[in-house]
Amino acid sequence: MFECRFSEGLPCKMSNAKPRSESLFEASQRLMPGGVNSPVRAFQRVGGAPLFFRQAKGAWVTDEDGHQYIDYVGSYGPMILGHAHDAVIDAVTRTARNGLSFGAPTAIENELAELVQQYMPSLERLRMVSSGTEATMSAIRVARGYTGRDRIVKFEGCYHGHSDALLVKAGSGALTLGEPDSLGVPAAVAAQTITLPYNDIDALQTCFQTAGSEIAAVIIEPIAGNMGCVPAVAGFLDAIREQCDQSGSLLIFDEVMTGFRVARDGAQGLYGVKPDLTTLGKVIGGGMPVGAFGGREDVMSIVAPLGGVYQAGTLSGNPVAMAAGLATLELVTQDGFFEDITSTTEVLMTGFEDLAGQAGVSFTTNQVGAMFGIFFREPPTNSDGRVTTFDEVLAANSDAFNTFFHAMLKAGVYLAPSPFESGFVSSAHGEKEVAATLTAAADAFKQVSSN
Ligand code: KE4
Average pLDDT, the chain: 95
* Span from the CA of 226 to the centroid of ligand 1 (angstroms): 8
How many other C-beta atoms are found inside a 10 Å radius of the C-beta of residue 49?
16
Angstrom CA distances, 25 to 3, 43, 60, 176, 418, stand at: 22, 11, 22, 19, 19
The pLDDT, as a whole number, for residue 168 is 86
Q: Which of 8-22, 130-144, 316-330, 392-406 has the lowest mean pLDDT?
A: 8-22
10 has pLDDT over 90: no
CA dihedral (305, 306, 309, 312) positive or negative? negative
Identify whether 391 is a catalytic site residue.
Answer: no
Which of 226, 227, 253 maximizes ligand 1 atoms within 8 Å of its Cβ, making it the mutation to test the pocket? 226
* Distance between CA atoms of residues 356 and 381, nearest Å: 18
The whole-number average pLDDT for the span 212-223 is 98
Looking at ligand 1, which atom is closest to the CA of residue 39?
Answer: 24
Identify whether 254 is a catalytic site residue.
Answer: yes
Q: Which residues pair with 375 in a beta bridge?
A: 364
The whole-number average pLDDT for the span 138-158 is 97
CB 255 less than 6 A from any atom of ligand 1: no
Nearest alpha carbon to residue 91 among 330, 333, 327, 328 = 327
Angstrom CA distances, 309 to 145, 148, 305, stand at: 6, 11, 8
Which of 159, 179, 258, 279 maximizes ligand 1 atoms within 8 Å of its Cβ, making it the mutation to test the pocket? 159
The pLDDT, as a whole number, for residue 180 is 65
The pLDDT, as a whole number, for residue 258 is 98
Contact 237, 258 (CB under 8 A): no
The whole-number average pLDDT for the span 355-378 is 98
User: pTM here?
Assistant: 0.95
The whole-number average pLDDT for the span 99-104 is 98
* Span from the CA of 159 to the centroid of ligand 1 (angstroms): 7
The pLDDT, as a whole number, for residue 9 is 44
249 has pLDDT over 50: yes
Which of 45, 257, 368 maximizes ligand 1 atoms within 8 Å of its Cβ, making it the mutation to test the pocket? 257
Point out the catalytic residue in the list 71, 254, 265, 276: 254
4 has pLDDT over 90: no
* Distance between CA atoms of residues 112 and 92, nearest Å: 14
* Distance between CA atoms of residues 138 and 284, nearest Å: 17
Higher pLDDT, 81 or 2: 81
* Distance between CA atoms of residues 76 and 173, nearest Å: 12
255 has pLDDT over 90: yes
CB 256 less than 6 A from any atom of ligand 1: yes
CB 424 less than 6 A from any atom of ligand 1: no
* Span from the CA of 174 to the centroid of ligand 1 (angstroms): 11
* Span from the CA of 160 to the centroid of ligand 1 (angstroms): 6
CB 40 less than 6 A from any atom of ligand 1: yes
Angstrom CA distances, 156 to 13, 259, 285, stand at: 42, 21, 27
Using 50, 70 and 90 to split pLDDT, how confident is the model at 212?
A: very high
Looking at ligand 1, which atom is closest to the CA of residue 291?
Answer: 4
The pLDDT, as a whole number, for residue 15 is 55
128 has pLDDT over 80: yes
CB 390 less than 6 A from any atom of ligand 1: no
According to CATH, what is the number of the domain 109-332? 3.40.640.10
Identify whether 282 is a catalytic site residue.
Answer: yes
2 has pLDDT over 90: no
Using 50, 70 and 90 to split pLDDT, how confident is the model at 410?
A: very high
Q: Which residues pair with 371 in a beta bridge?
A: 368, 424
Furthest C-alpha separation in the chain? 66
The per-residue pLDDT for range 266-308, each reduced to its tens digit, is 999 999 999 999 999 999 999 999 999 999 999 999 999 999 9
CA dihedral (373, 378, 379, 381) positive or negative? negative
Nearest alpha carbon to residue 152 among 102, 216, 83, 65 = 216
* Distance between CA atoms of residues 252 and 434, nearest Å: 35
239 has pLDDT over 90: yes
The pLDDT, as a whole number, for residue 3 is 45
The per-residue pLDDT for range 40-70, each reduced to its tens digit, is 999 999 999 999 999 999 999 999 999 999 9
144 has pLDDT over 60: yes
Nearest CA to ligand 1 atom 24: 38
Point out the catalytic residue in the list 72, 159, 271, 414: 159
Which of 256, 261, 290, 422 maximizes ligand 1 atoms within 8 Å of its Cβ, making it the mutation to test the pocket? 256
CB 367 less than 6 A from any atom of ligand 1: no
